Amino acid sequence: MSSVKLARVESSFFGRDCLTLLDYTTEEILHIIHEGIEMKKNPIQPVLSGKILAMIFEKSSTRTRVSFEAGMQQLGGNALFLSSQDLQLGRGESIADTAKVLSGYVDAIMIRTFQHEKVEELARHASIPVINGLTDTYHPCQALADLMTILQLKKTYKGTKVAYIGDGNNVAHSLLIACAKVGMDAVIAHPEGYGPDPEVMKKIQQVCKQTGAAVTAVTNPAEAVQGADIVYSDVWTSMGQEEENEIRLAAFDGYQINSKLMAGAKADSSFLHCLPAHRGEEVTAEVIDGSQSAVFLQAENRLHVQKALLKEILAG
């Protein structure tokens, strides 16, 4: 499938949290990607029989909920959907108490929430693995699916360039971390004031020193897509930012991915988007529904790569 060299990683994930890809080595990330590719070939594997995943949702979801729930069932386990309205957490119970209680009932927790500190606190007090399904700072499961998709499309990470156009948000952070971890060059083009978090970028640059990747930030989308193999976008207004929508629409004027911008990338470049998409804003329908788009392959890969992660964390 790829020219990426993979060394067997013996059960190094068992019982571990997945809060950010910064906590994983390059070899561990590659192992998960290749395991996800194998999962896609053989989707029904009852290796988690009797295991239960608690899924806490404080943010709405389509892909995260369905992919984790379906994934647990395909692995022979079960998943419990828990909205913030369903839990005492939504009525003031502490994160620490919630973590300790759930640790006595289930085998792992996946949480989709706002502040990243909440996931860190949950992991600190839980005696079972915690998986970050999304926070305002990181989206590691999406980045794993992105890496799997890029490998399927381009067959290798070496010499592959990713151009992300838009907001320096959680998706951008995790994508840039993922690229740095596997030695893949990446550039983000963003308006002034909407770049990645400086502290996150410092961590990314530390990874780049180890892997030889180049991760840079610019303000010119046309510059970013030059020679790009992958052009990536996300919504300009994320959940929780709805009051900023009009301001953001004005700030991101000129950052839309359209056929003209795609023409600046390589002729065989592919378009990715974590979804949901706002056609006519960050991307035109012509691009996202066109022949270069791989967004639905990318969305499907959430299922396969998360199953690989669940299998490694819960079965070893």
Residues with a catalytic annotation lie at 112, 139, 142, 234, 274, 302
Give 230's strand partners.
162, 270
Q: Percent helix, strand, coil in the chain (nearest 5)?
A: 45, 15, 40
Q: Which helix (H) or strand (E) holds 82?
A: strand 78-83
The dihedral region occupied by 159, where left means phi > 0, alpha psi between -120 and 50, and beta the remainder, is left
Paired tokens of 204: 């990314």
Residue ranges of the annotated binding site are 61-64, 88, 112, 139-142, 170, 234, 238-239, 274-275, 302
d(CA 33, CA 306): 10
Q: Which of 73, 77, 128, 89 is closest to 105 using CA atoms?
A: 128
d(CA 178, CA 213): 11
d(CA 107, CA 197): 33
d(CA 48, CA 43): 13
d(CA 248, CA 257): 16
Other CB atoms within 10 A of residue 66 CB: 13
Residue type, position 273, single letter: H
Q: What string of DSSP letters covers 215-260?
A: EEEES-HHHHHTT-SEEEE--SS-TT-GGGHHHHHHHTTT--B-HH
Paired tokens of 237: 């207004």
d(CA 162, CA 147): 11
Residue ranges of the annotated binding site for carbamoyl phosphate are 61-64, 88, 112, 139-142, 274-275, 302
Q: Where do we find the tokens 């009797």?
A: 50
Residue ranges of the annotated binding site for L-ornithine are 170, 234, 238-239
d(CA 44, CA 46): 6
